[in-house]
Structure 1
Amino acid sequence: MNAPARHESYVLDDGEKAVEVIEDTKIPNAATIKIVKQDHTLGNMLRAQLLAMPQVLFAGYKVPHPLHPYFIIKIQTDGTVTPQKILEQACTKLIGTMSSLETKFKREFSYKDVEGTAGGVTAATGEDPYGTTGGAWGRGGDYLDII
């Protein structure tokens, strides 16, 4: 009822900036960054990636309100690099990680075709590596078939 239209949650308006950087005047080498039209998914991944980097002293994020489609991330570094630069590096590493995950995911499913599987059961041995046929389900169908 009070929720905005779905497209307003992820499409930037004309002239709207995706990222706003606010320098922190009270804490050295720190910044507060507002990332618009994103949610916990990106916020948590960025926070985890930032905390894995040795130059980062603090990284945390919050979503101020569920109906407002943005999150705020606060970053403090050791001074060898700026918070903006370390955020760019974290984003680059995340893109590389996601690309690697996609490649591995596609490779695993291409093995399924190469190994001659049919419906999840290996044709040569008759074994199901995921346990989705027979067994406790009894009918040999997918687990969603019991609903």
Structure 2
Amino acid sequence: MNAPDRFTLFVLDEGEAPVEVNEDTKIPNAATIKILKQDHTLGNMLRAQLLSMPQVLFAGYKVPHPLHPYFLLKIQTDGSIAPDLLLSEACNQLIGTLASLEGKFKREFAFKEADGAGLGATGVGGAGHGGAAFATSDDPYGTGAGTGGTASWGNRDDYLDF
């Protein structure tokens, strides 16, 4: 009843800026950045990426209220680079990391499809599998579901091995 329409939580209005940077006057080399129409997902990823950078002294975020679709990101640097430029660099690194993860994900499932090992008619609780959810060849952890745990890691391919 009091909740806003769902689309207003992620669609920017006409002329609305997605990012607002406010320099902090009380803390040296610090800024508070308001990122609109985003939530904890992006906030936590940016915070983690910023903390992995050696120029960052502090990085944190908060969502002031769940009904307001924005979060505040606070960054303090060592003075060698401005907080807004460091955020831009962190975003580029995060995009590269996510692109790499996407490539690995697609490659592994392409290998799985090429091997022909998908969930077929015998893959889900079929006869001879002891009612197990997966057949031994589809078991990602090598526990040998349905075979008494006789499969081992060394003698089979696993889609978790990068």
Q: Normalized against structure 2, the TM-score is what?
A: 0.76
Measured on the aligned residues, the alpha-carbon RMSD in Å equals: 2.2
C-alpha displacement of 1:15 = 1.4
1:105 corresponds to: 105
In the alignment, structure 1 residue 72 sits paired with structure 2 residue 82 = no
For residues 30-59 of structure 1, give each alpha carbon's deviation from its aligned partner in whole angstroms, at most 9, with x where no partner exists.
Answer: 000000000000000000000000000000
C-alpha displacement of 1:94 = 0.5
Identity of aligned residues (%): 67
Q: Which runs of 5 or more residues in structure 1 are unaligned?
A: 136-147
Higher share in strand: 1
For residues 40-81 of structure 1, give each alpha carbon's deviation from its aligned partner in whole angstroms, at most 9, with x where no partner exists.
Answer: 000000000000000000000000000000000000000000
Residues 20 and 127 of structure 1, relative CA distance in 2, 3 Å threshold: same
Q: Normalized against structure 1, the TM-score is what?
A: 0.84
Detail structure 1 runs of 4+ shifted over 3 Å in the superposition: none
> AA paired with 1:130?
P
2:157 corresponds to: none
> AA paired with 1:43?
G
C-alpha displacement of 1:107 = 0.5
1:130 corresponds to: 140
C-alpha displacement of 1:134 = 6.3
C-alpha displacement of 1:98 = 0.6
C-alpha displacement of 1:129 = 2.6
1:28 corresponds to: 28
Q: Which has the higher contact order (CA 8 A, sep 6+)?
A: 1
